[in-house]
């Protein structure tokens, strides 16, 4: 029997994502000037205020206020009307030194023997239903908001957009677990109050709001959605249809938004960050954490495994779980679930045994294999940590205390298909 599956995304201007981006910008700056920095940085944003907290062990010192303000301005919070802007908000830093009790279990004389920065389980997932091996509903949800941000920055076709937004996509699947059609799209976008009421009466206020909502709905369906569709491959374009139910700003006008409308915290969008509800999640957030924290590094490594397994043809869909004990070098378990999609006469347990030999999952080995001790994290902090295209670029960092540094870095190394041949060889594919 056909079934429905839904995933959501949030924009870079969503309060929780503002917090994530600030935390990862701080992490990048620490790693740029001291690659061995240990960082666990949390951010809170609310009306006119940013609070930075967490634990750091580093040889460098940063102007954390300036870094936070730059991130906020780059997102688009630059106007006093938003009640939150990079130039005017207060920034309070409560960052202090990392606990030695934690650090003694992580740092070792032999870096290869580095222990895990925490206990817990991490998951990676991949499916062949999209070209980037991501769940389709989440992939479309991200794309909707990325295109919406493009339109906002262009300021031409939809000039009234503000930075805060959310999207949600529901897809109908057939009995063979293949997507059949898009059923529902939900988009809530913050906007200017571009139609003012003729008077202060409730009737005129409602009339102005209705006129705004009508215009927003028309622009989203006639301008945004066609641009989104044009950026998607043909097999996904075919899922769009005239019967899609659109909910555009369903609660009414959305003028008050961003950190003024809702307090934001680092690490509150972990499902948006990963697989949109497909597979599983161990519960640990990513942003603000250096790669000694396996919450982040092992989740990336598990995605790397999952994507290479599916791309090699070993299975059509896979969930990878890895677990650790704090301070212990080797993972306590590696689990594989191919959902019955492996064509070989192998159990998932047998596949897991081979995977554990093929991929070194010690924390230091993950850091080295995926080049994680580099300032690569700000780009992960919006529109998902998984599914993006690996690329190399030069990033420039400046500090009033440490000068200027340029670094060539490789982004999204966990998305590389560099183990496909090794997987094929190991499983005789």
State yes or no: 42 annotated in a binding site: yes
- 39-51: b (≥16 Cβ within 10 Å) or e: bbbbbbbbeeebb
The answer to whether the CB of 47 falls within 8 A of the CB of 55 is no
- Residue (of 198, 148, 423) closest to 312 by Cα position: 423
State yes or no: 254 annotated in a binding site: yes
State yes or no: 110 annotated in a binding site: no
State yes or no: 205 annotated in a binding site: no
Distances in Å between the Cα of 292 and the Cα atoms of 217, 297, 325, 338, 363 are: 45, 7, 13, 28, 7
State yes or no: 16 annotated in a binding site: yes
State yes or no: 262 annotated in a binding site: yes
State yes or no: 285 annotated in a binding site: yes
Q: How many other C-beta atoms lie within 10 A of the C-beta of residue 105?
A: 16
The answer to whether the CB of 409 falls within 8 A of the CB of 393 is yes
- CA 194 to chain CA centroid, Å, is 31
Full DSSP string of 179-191: EEEEEEEEEEEEE
Q: How far apart are CA 120 and CA 240, in angstroms?
A: 40
State yes or no: 243 annotated in a binding site: no
State yes or no: 253 annotated in a binding site: yes
Q: How far apart are CA 137 and CA 239, in angstroms?
A: 11
Instruction: Tell the residue number behind the tokens 């991949």, with chain if given.
Output: 126
State yes or no: 222 annotated in a binding site: no
The token pair that represents 134 in the structure block: 């991501």
State yes or no: 210 annotated in a binding site: no
* Paired sense of beta strands 245-248 and 179-191, if any: parallel
Q: How far apart are CA 32 and CA 98, in angstroms?
A: 19
State yes or no: 289 annotated in a binding site: yes
Full DSSP string of 138-174: HHHHHHHHHHHHHHHHH-SSSTTEEEEEEEEEEEEE-
State yes or no: 55 annotated in a binding site: yes
Burial class, 68, CB count within 10 angstroms (exposed 0-12 / middle 13-18 / buried 19+): buried
Binding residues for K(+): 42
* Annotated binding residues: 14, 16, 42, 55, 98, 164-166, 253-254, 262, 268-269, 285, 289, 293
Residue numbers belonging to the annotated binding site for L-methionine: 55, 98, 262, 293
For the annotated binding site for ATP, the residues are 14, 164-166, 253-254, 262, 268-269, 285, 289
- Known binding residues for Mg(2+) are 16
């Amino acid at each position: 029997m056909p079934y429905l599956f839904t995933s959501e995304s949030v924009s870079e201007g969503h309060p929780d994502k503002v917090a994530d981006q600030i935390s990862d910008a701080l992490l990048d700056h620490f790693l740029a000037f001291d690659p061995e920095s240990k960082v666990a940085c949390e951010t809170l944003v609310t009306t006119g205020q940013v609070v930075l907290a967490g634990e750091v062990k580093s040889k460098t010192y940063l102007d954390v206020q300036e870094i936070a303000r730059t991130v906020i301005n780059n997102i688009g919070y630059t106007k006093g009307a938003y009640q939150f802007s990079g130039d005017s908000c207060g920034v309070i830093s409560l960052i202090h030194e990392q606990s030695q009790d934690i650090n003694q279990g992580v740092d070792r004389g032999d870096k290869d023997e580095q222990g895990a920065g925490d206990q817990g389980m991490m998951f990676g997932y991949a499916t062949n239903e999209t070209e980037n091996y991501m769940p389709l509903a989440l992939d479309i949800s991200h794309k909707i908001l990325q295109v919406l941000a493009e339109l906002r920055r262009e300021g031409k076709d939809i000039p009234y957009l503000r930075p805060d937004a959310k999207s949600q996509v529901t897809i109908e699947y057939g009995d063979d677990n293949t997507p059949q059609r898009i059923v529902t799209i939900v988009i809530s976008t913050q906007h200017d109050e571009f139609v003012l009421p003729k008077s202060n009466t409730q009737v005129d206020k409602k009339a102005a709001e209705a006129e705004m909502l009508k215009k927003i709905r028309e622009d989203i369906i006639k301008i945004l959605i066609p641009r989104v569709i044009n950026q998607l491959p043909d097999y996904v374009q075919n899922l769009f249809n005239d019967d899609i139910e659109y909910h555009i700003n369903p609660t009414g006008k959305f003028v008050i938004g961003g950190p003024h409308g809702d307090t934001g915290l680092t690490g509150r969008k972990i499902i948006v960050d990963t697989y949109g509800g497909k597979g599983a999640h161990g519960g640990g957030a990513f942003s603000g954490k250096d790669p000694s924290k396996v919450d982040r590094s092992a989740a990336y490594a598990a995605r790397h495994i999952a994507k290479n397994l599916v791309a090699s043809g070993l299975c059509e869909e896979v969930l990878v779980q890895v677990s650790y004990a704090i301070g212990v070098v080797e993972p306590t378990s590696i689990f594989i679930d191919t959902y019955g999609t492996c064509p070989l006469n192998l159990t998932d347990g047998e596949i897991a045994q081979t995977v554990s030999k093929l991929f070194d999952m010690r924390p230091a080995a993950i850091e080295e294999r995926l080049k994680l001790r580099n300032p690569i994290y700000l780009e992960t902090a919006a529109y998902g940590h998984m599914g993006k295209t690996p690329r190399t670029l030069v990033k420039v960092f400046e500090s009033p205390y440490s000068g200027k540094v340029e670094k060539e870095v490789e982004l999204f190394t966990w998305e590389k298909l560099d183990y496909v041949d090794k997987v094929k060889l190991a499983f005789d594919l």
